[in-house]
Structure formats: structure tokens, C-alpha cells
Chain A
Amino acid sequence: MTSSSPEHAAPTPLDGVVVADTTQSVAGQYAGRLLAMHGATVVLVEPPEGTATRRMAPRQPDGPDSYLFRHLNQGKASVVVDRSSPDHADLLRDLLDRADVLLRDQGSAGAPGDRLVDCEIGDFPPGPYERWRGTEMVHQALGGAMNATGSAGRPPLYGIGHRAAYATGTTAYITVVAALYERRRSGRGQRVRATVFESLAAMGQNLVSQYSYNGTAENRARYPGFLAVLRCADAWVVLFAIRNWPGLCRAFGLAGLADDPRFATAADRMANWPAAVDLLQERARAMRADDVVAGCQAGRVSAEKVSSLADLVGSPHWQARSVLRRVPSAGGSREETALHRIAAFSGAAAGITAGSPDPGADTDRIAALVVREPR
């Protein structure tokens, strides 16, 4: 793991952009994290009791904030706003007056300003579900992924964590930055929206189109592709062989299968894929997972070992790529771990360089910023 290093000299993609993040959701705060990661000044506006994600699982065993809060809010400043306090109301008004972007929960008040990109983030758009309560599992159920995840004859599985919310946060980020880009031409901001329902529906693998083409749909009984999940001697391997069938056969010492008429064409292989997987599994049982992966990749077939997070965080690849970084808190009193980078830009800096904020830690600094620099 590397330590944070000053990157102030390099430009950042969103240098100078000021964001007021008043959201309390995973999706909203992840959008804010992405804006902070790319150089914007992002101010998390918290209620006196602290934002809700500070208390959401997984929690630190002996610290005040959850790991979820840390991850979502690294790189941001924090101000606490008690809306019943006139001073606080002034600070919020000044911040919104200065902000280029407002991230807010669905249904909360927007802000005036012709140049503001006003981004509302919520669960459902107007329509039949607009009054429904969304959770990660509710969205995965409505989005189609859940029905196809798991085993036939067992309950469908929703997945893990908050991936639909992260998709929504990323969708919001893209929409906001695209609107900032457009503002250069028009001189005007606009209202934008990201909902979990729409963001997840956009990620469904051809569900709508496949049904429109021929009335079929994926389910848990069988994946419609050249997928194999194999138990090797020491671990599980997942492979996907959209092409290079001969290379796959060789990786398992089954070169003769390359000429087997059951597997002669893509259509043949799809029709007989369960038999092919049985043959591969028979060989895999006595092979090491790393050898299966290496053999498949040598034959230009995609394969990877099922890795635990314990495996990954210490893996040579993550070490070589500096996937994790230690970053200091705003006051420098502690350090925390960050997944610091989504993208690398030549000649520019982008990444998390500071930890998550304590509640209200930046009130004075932000007050000075917004009073000094009206938009």
C-alpha cells in the first residue's frame, strides 16, 4: 500500500468546481465522492446528528464511523447545518449561492441559480413505483438481475452490498459532469436526475431486447453463454469462452475435443455446453486453479480464480498497481485506507488524497471560501 503524496502541481479534471452534497444516500454520496476524486471541492452538508451513512454497516469495531461512510466521503469537507439556526441557514445559503453543483435527495428542495447543475438522486422516477420504498434488494428484484442470480430450485439472490446504488452514483456523476461541459457552451446549468430504478434498468443484459427479439429470457437454470464455474483442486475458477475453443481444450489436456462434432460450431457448443462443462470439470478437479487460469489465458480464453478480499488486498497485482493508498484525515490526526482511483489521466492528477471528514470539521474553511468567492 502506498502513502498519499502531494499532487498539487498537476491539474485535475474538475479543479475549481464547488459541490454542495446534501444527500444522505449511498448513491448520492458516491456521486459526491467521484466529484471529489476528480478535483472538485465537495462539501458534505450534515444534520447535527451526522449523516445517516455514518451509522450504516459495515461498522468499525471501535470507531465512530462506518466503513461505508468512510468510503463514500473520503476527499470531502464537512459542515454541520442545523436548519433551525439562522447562522447555519446563512452558511447553507452562501454555499448554495457559490456552488456549481447541488447533489440532493429526491424530494428535497432545489436551489435557484441559472448556472447551477441541480442533481436530484433517488429511488424511483415518476410512474407506478414513485411512492415505493427502494432498497438494494428491491431494486435488484425489479431490475432482472436477481431472478437470474443463484441456482435453479433455490431462492434468487440479490447480490452483495449496494451495487445498484453505486451504479446510480456513477450515473449521477456522468450526468453532472456532462451538464458542466454543456454549460461552457450555453452558459446555463440545468436540472438533472439519477434514480436507482433507471440506472439499474440500463445495466440489464439485453433483457428487454432479447424478449422483443424472440420471447426468451435468462433464468437461474442456465446462463446463455459459454460460462463455466469449475472446482479445481485448491480453488474455484470462472471461465468464459466466447472464442478460441481449441485453446480452451488444450488448457485442460483435451485437445481431441477440438474436433469433436458435438462442439464443432458455436451453435453446436451452445447446444452441448453442459456436456463440455462436465468434461472440463472432470479435468479441473485435479488441477491447481492458477494452472487452469494460466492455461486458459495462454489459449486466449478469459479465466480468473475466485478470490477472497483477503487474497486480493495482499495480491501482487494490487501491490504492483497501488490499488490501495493510505490517506490522512483533514486534520492529519489519523490515516485511513482508500481505494483511491477510478481512472488515471496522463499529465493530470485524479484520486482520493484525504480521508473522510469528522462532522463539521470544515465549517470555518468553507464559510471563508463561500463568502470570499461568490459564483
Chain B
Amino acid sequence: MNGPLDGVRVLEFTTAWAGPFAGRCLAYLGADVIKIEAPGHPDSWRGAARGGAPFYYPDLDPGDDPQNRDVLFNSQNLDKRSLALDLKAPGSADVMRDLIRSADVILANFTPGVLDRLGVGYAAASAVNPRVIVAEMPAFGPGGPLSGHQGMGKTMEPAAGMTGLMGYGDGTPVLTGPAIMDPTGGLNAVAAVVSALELRERTGRGCRAEVAQVEAAAHWIGEHVLEQVDTGRTWRPGGNDVAYAAPHDAFPCRGADQWIAIAVTDDRQWRVLCGQMGRADLAADPRYATAAARIHHRTGLDEAVRAWTRPQDKRDLAGLLQRAGVPAAPVLDGAGIAADPAMWTAGMVAELDHPRVGRRAYSTLGFRLSRTPGGHRRAAPLFGEHNDAVLRDLLGYDPGRIARLRRTGAVADRPTADTETNTERRRT
């Protein structure tokens, strides 16, 4: 199905999650995304050539082609084409020049300056194609003491100030389980790209768009940043406590590590919860009559709720409470989510065929447009899978020229390195 970005071509130089997630969003929205990987420095989420931890692979088996079977890479690169091009090899500069001529967007998540050193930064690219947009998404922007830092989802979260606001209140930091900062940076980068496309319609020229992922993520806790600046203090973590509601916690249910989240956000919901619990005494107790009072006395309150939830099934109980008007949900794990009918009804799961892993289920994205919906249609590409299609069909190269590019190593059909390769002295 057509997407709103049909006709937009993206050249993607990204690795791991944030950048590939951004490229995947653009592909979902209809863009033609060509992922360009260096044979000597493939996407780190392709993993190790001899295989990594078993849970990255189909049926826990790396097989004989682990770099094309890794669930991490294969989840974040749907609907893209793959071109394996070594930008430092003879002949590759001409390939890049030809690609840039037909491109609308170059997307990269290197540290500041790397894209320029590779010869595809904004100055070089706009000299070839003045309408091209170069979107860069470093962890930290240029010009500060942290600018050269490598960022990963798990390390950007504490750098953005989020980790200091989370935890059980004992001083030990708690990170969000899945690395939330990667899709956060990815979404912010996509926002920048669509903004830049609209900007180009106003100026007639491309631009360099830069999203410093850590700074951009701080907007997602912006109210706390503003409070900190104004008052010199802000939220101190205490489990699932919030300033506006109680009970507000995860309560144990029947089974090992089974929990229900219950969030009572007003007095009416509190009285309804008491009714469901058969505890008219709590509903009448002035210690629990208002949100402020319940927050003050929450220790005893939570214990009463725990005693009620502990023998019950989390899904049944959440459904019961929701039907009565009390916000609640079962705390789901990966298996629960994969089997959740709501995920399938909402179109949040796509089953796609891949030549090395077979038919598997993947999460889709949350963009919903009535007339140009877009969507996920193709599994992730094999490394270099579209070398010939891009060089021959898109750029019009003849077989002899393509063969020469393979001979010089500018184009390759297999990675020559993996995550075991030491990159400490590399510039990229």
C-alpha cells in the first residue's frame, strides 16, 4: 500500500537500533530506503560471524550464516534494500556520487564529523545534489565536552537524566528494560527528516538536519527539567510512586513473577476499587478519602491491595477492574505481548518471509493514515542482497563495471568483519 513518503529515496548509513529504527520508519511510510553497509564494518546488530548468544537466532541456532540470521538486525531493517559498499575502496566515490544524485535523504548515526570524513557529509553531498537532506543523529551534538562520546541506548538514558529519576528509592539506578533511548532517538530523527522535507518545499534546497539524541530525549522528561531549573529540585524516585495518584503500583498475582498494574487516579475510582475488593471499610476510612491522603498513607493501603490481588489471575483481574472503570493492566512479558490479540487486531504484528530464517513475526509501527497507510511488506535484506539491483537497475551500470567494483572490493557480497573486530583505531 502506498505511504505518504512514496517517491522519497533514503541512503541509510546506520548501525544498531536508533538509526536503523529511523530508516525503518521512513520505509514504513513509503520511502525507498537503501541501507549502505561497509563490508569491513557491517551493522553491529548483524552480530558475530561465528554466532553470538543463542537467543539472537531462530530456534537458538546461529546456523552457518549468523550475520543474516540475527533477530536484532532482522527486526529493525524491514522493507530496506542492502548495498554493501566500502567507501574507502577505489570506485566507490563514483557510486556514492551517482546515488546522491537520486537521493532525497542521507541518514546517519555516527559521532559528529564521521560522515564528513567519509566524504558524504552535507558539504560534499549538497555539491552533488543541492536538494539532498543530510540527517545526522549523533548521541551528543558537536561543540561540547561529550561530543565525541559513543552512545548506546542503555548509556544515553542516564546521560539524558532519566535514570536519576527512576528506581526503588534506595539509590541504585534502574534502567528501562528495553533500551528506550534507541527508538526515542529514532523517532526524533524521523521527525527531523519529515520536517526537513517540508522545509525543502519552502526553500527549494536541502539542508543538514542534526538531532542530538540525548538532548532530544530530555524533552520526554521536560516537565522535570523545567521544575529543576525553577526550584532547584525535582522528582525523587520511589518505585512506582507518582505525585498524583494512589494506589499506583504493580501488585503480585497468582503464579511466579506475575503482576497487575493498578493506577487509581481519582476518588471515584478508589471507591470502585474498594467495592471490588469488598472493603467498604477502606472506602469509608478518612485516611484514604482523597488522593493526597492516600499518597500519605499508601503503605497500609498497598498492603491491603496486595492481599486482595495475590491469589488472582492478572488478566482476569485487570479485565474486571477496567470494566468497572479502574485503570489496570496485566504486566506482560514478550510471550504475553506476542500472543496478545490486541497486538494483532491493531496491525502491530507482521509475519514476513526471510530466506535465512523463514516466516517470522515482527513488530510494526504506530503510524496510521487513512488514505496512504504505508506498512511493512518485506523482511530485512541479506547483506548486500541488492547490490546488483541498485547498481544495474537504479544506477544503470553495465556488468563489466559492476564486476570491476567487486574486484576492487568496493562492492562485496559478504561482510569481511563483525562485532569481534577491534575498531579502537578506526575513525568510523
Contact = CB atoms under 8 A, between A and B. Distances in A.
A287 interface: no
A346 B207 contact: yes
Contacts of B226: 67, 70-71, 336-339
B32 to A, nearest CB: 15
B234 interface: yes
Contact of A339 (B76, B225, B248): B225
Interface residues of A, number: 160
Interface string A308-335: 1111110011101101100000000000
B50 A265 contact: yes
B227 A197 contact: no
Contacts of B191: 34, 170, 173-174, 177, 342-343
A242 B422 CA distance: 11
Contacts of B223: 58, 66-68, 70-71, 161-162
A180 interface: yes
Contacts of A194: 366-368
B160 to A, nearest CB: 8
A367 interface: no
B250 A146 contact: yes
Interface string B329-345: 11111111110111101
Nearest to B5: A178
B192 interface: yes
Nearest to A321: B144
Interface string A61-92: 10000111011100000000000000000000
Nearest to A61: B231
A238 B158 contact: yes
A342 B188 contact: yes
B154 A238 contact: yes
Contacts of A216: 55, 60, 334
A216 to B, nearest CB: 5
Contacts of B177: 144-150, 218, 220, 223
Interface string B178-196: 1110111001101110111
Contacts of B404: none
Chain B interface category by residue count: 35 or more
B408 interface: no
Interface stretch (B90-98, B161-169, B277-285, B384-392): B161-169
Given A171-B187, A198-B366, A300-B423, A317 B150 contact: no
Nearest to B52: A266
Given A57-B243, A309-B225, A309-B234, A238 B157 contact: yes
B328 to A, nearest CB: 7
B377 to A, nearest CB: 16
Contact of B210 (A219, A229, A344): A344
Contacts of B207: 345-348
Contact of B152 (A191, A209, A242): A242
A166 B59 CA distance: 36
B325 interface: yes
Contact of A207 (B155, B173, B210, B334): B334
Interface in A339-367: 339, 341-348, 350
A227 interface: yes
A201 B156 contact: no
Contacts of A304: 149, 151, 155-156, 158-159
Contacts of B159: 304-305, 307
A202 B363 contact: yes
Contacts of B29: 174, 178
B161 A146 contact: no
B187 A128 contact: no
Contacts of A175: 367-369
Contacts of B420: 243, 265-266
A9 B156 CA distance: 35
B270 interface: no
A305 B158 contact: yes
B64 interface: no
A57 B50 contact: no
B363 A348 contact: no
B360 interface: yes
Contact of A204 (B239, B322, B337): B337
A266 B332 CA distance: 29
A214 B188 contact: no
Contact of A324 (B16, B17, B183, B229): B229
Given A198-B348, A203-B180, A214 B60 contact: yes
A145 to B, nearest CB: 5
A307 B209 contact: no
A236 B5 CA distance: 43
Contact of B178 (A72, A129, A144, A299): A144
A291 interface: no
A14 B199 CA distance: 7
Contacts of A280: none
Interface in A125-184: 125-129, 131-152, 154-163, 166-168, 170-171, 173-175, 177-182, 184
Given A129-B342, A236-B173, A58 B334 contact: no
Interface string B253-279: 000010111010100000000000000
B369 A307 contact: no
Contacts of A12: 199, 202
Contacts of A181: 4-5, 194, 197-198, 201
B40 interface: no
Contacts of A58: 223-224, 227, 234-235, 243
Given A146-B331, A301-B150, 12 more contacts: A56-B244, A144-B332, A181-B197, A198-B368, A208-B363, A214-B57, A217-B335, A246-B424, A267-B54, A316-B145, A317-B145, A321-B141
Shortest Cβ-Cβ A-B pairs, 10 listed:
A148-B177, A217-B334, A205-B178, A127-B345, A198-B366, A343-B192, A182-B4, A270-B53, A317-B144, A71-B222
20 contacts: A58-B234, A58-B243, A124-B342, A132-B329, A143-B332, A149-B177, A152-B257, A155-B239, A155-B249, A159-B176, A173-B191, A175-B367, A195-B346, A243-B44, A265-B50, A306-B158, A307-B159, A309-B161, A310-B232, A347-B205
